[in-house]
């Protein structure tokens, strides 16, 4: 099921996050690979022009990468935004691609492979896959009309991945408000960050299995939305992978319609509507629903903050030649 709008042309702990952020720089590749950002931007724009949904897919890849802690560093603190989500399974570890939040859901790996090949052609083994994900997320949002932000660079790639972490640390579409607040807080992200980042659901689509319970069993949902989604998501007998837009009005335009929908009880996922249902985040949702500039500003700030969650830097990790496997 597609929306009608056509695309425009085209920190778990703040202390450690601050340390890691200080080692990153927006100009990290200015000398070592001056064409890196331009190359990534052009490849993302081409991919999104070919399929607008890819913008949401690349943004989601970065989010799932940042939320999963693949390796312990600095005692029991763990890094994110390390490219671990891209790794295939090996004899020594099971990757994150088959985790419940990712299996048959995450996509865009081939686009990242293509970007990596293009970047490698202009500078050999200089730009990490983790940084490619971070820049691709920004360029995807920009391609769909969203806000810009300054991406801090200099991340290195993880040499392992964690299926268990992916299964436990990525918020579920069935999460209640308290669960969402807690999950983001563990990453050093505030409630405002959580609500703003949830606004990424203004683009992209969701699988029937992630919203079936909501459209058949919940009462805090607009009846017309429930009925329309039931036509593509049977209560039983299959259809788990059938897709519906998270924002049926402008699902290929990055705007504030996600929040307008929540105010009308038209959030597709349970976790979406939890942001507006008599809880502590109602007022912020209302603000975003009427103030696009405020949403864009808070979203950009939260993306920067999330992207700086204790990344691997310096001599930790590696710069992969192939994003799907370690060197």
**What is the rounded distance in angstroms from the CA atom of residue 233 to the CA atom of residue 101?**
19
Rounded to whole angstroms, how far apart are CA atoms 279 and 175?
14
Q: Is 201 annotated as a binding residue?
A: yes
- CA 264 to CA 66: how far, in whole Å? 31
Q: Is 65 annotated as a binding residue?
A: yes
Q: Is 68 annotated as a binding residue?
A: yes
- The reply to whether 280 sits in an annotated binding site is no
Phi/psi at 114 (5° precision): -65, -45
CA distances from 177 to 214, 263, 273, 326 (A): 15, 16, 9, 37
C-alpha separations of 308 from 17, 32, 192, 259 in Å:
6, 21, 17, 26
Q: Is 255 annotated as a binding residue?
A: yes
List 62, 64, 77, 270, catalytic entry: 64
Task: Confirm whether residue 96 is marked as ligand binding.
Answer: yes
Cβ partners under 8 Å of residue 61, min gap 6: 85, 86, 106, 108, 109, 112, 133, 136, 137
> Is 171 marked within a binding site?
yes
* Residue 270 among the catalytic residues: no
Closest CA to 281 of 211, 267, 147, 214: 267
3-class secondary-structure state, position 203: coil
The answer to the question of whether 250 is labelled as a binding residue is: yes
The residue among 41, 39, 26 whose CA lies nearest residue 120 is: 39
Binding residues for substrate: 171
Binding residues for Ca(2+): 65, 68, 80, 82, 84, 96, 202, 247, 250, 255
Binding residues: 65, 68, 80, 82, 84, 96, 171, 201-202, 247, 250, 255
Which residues does the annotation mark as catalytic?
64
Binding residues for heme b: 201
């Amino acid at each position: 099921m597609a929306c009608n709008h056509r695309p425009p042309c085209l920190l778990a702990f703040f202390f450690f996050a601050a340390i890691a952020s200080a080692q990153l720089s927006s100009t990290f590749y200015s000398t070592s690979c001056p064409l890196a950002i331009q190359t990534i931007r052009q490849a993302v724009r081409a991919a999104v022009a070919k399929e607008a949904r890819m913008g949401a897919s690349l943004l989601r890849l970065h989010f799932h990468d940042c939320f999963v802690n693949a390796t312990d560093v600095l005692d029991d603190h763990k890094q994110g935004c390390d490219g671990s989500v891209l790794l295939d399974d090996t004899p020594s570890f099971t990757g994150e691609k088959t985790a419940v939040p990712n299996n048959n859901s995450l996509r865009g790996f081939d686009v990242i492979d293509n970007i990596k090949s293009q970047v490698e052609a202009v500078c050999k083994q200089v730009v990490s896959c983790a940084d490619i994900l971070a820049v691709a997320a920004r360029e995807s949002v920009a391609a769909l009309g969203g806000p810009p932000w300054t991406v801090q660079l200099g991340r290195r790639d993880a040499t392992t991945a964690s299926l268990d972490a992916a299964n436990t640390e990525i918020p579920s579409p069935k999460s209640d408000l308290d669960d969402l607040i807690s999950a983001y807080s563990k990453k050093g992200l505030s409630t405002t960050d959580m609500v703003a980042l949830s606004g990424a659901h203004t683009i992209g689509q969701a699988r029937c299995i992630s919203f079936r319970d909501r459209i058949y069993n919940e009462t805090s949902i607009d009846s017309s939305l429930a009925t329309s989604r039931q036509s593509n998501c049977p209560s039983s007998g299959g259809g788990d992978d059938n897709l519906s837009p998270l924002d049926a009005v402008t699902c290929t335009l990055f705007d504030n319609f996600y929040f307008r929908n929540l105010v009308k009880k038209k959030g597709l996922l349970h976790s979406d509507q939890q942001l507006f249902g008599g809880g502590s985040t109602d007022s912020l949702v209302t603000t975003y629903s009427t103030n696009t500039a405020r949403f864009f500003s808070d979203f950009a700030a939260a993306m920067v903050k999330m992207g700086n969650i204790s990344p691997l830097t310096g001599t930790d990790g590696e710069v992969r030649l192939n994003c799907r496997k370690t060197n």
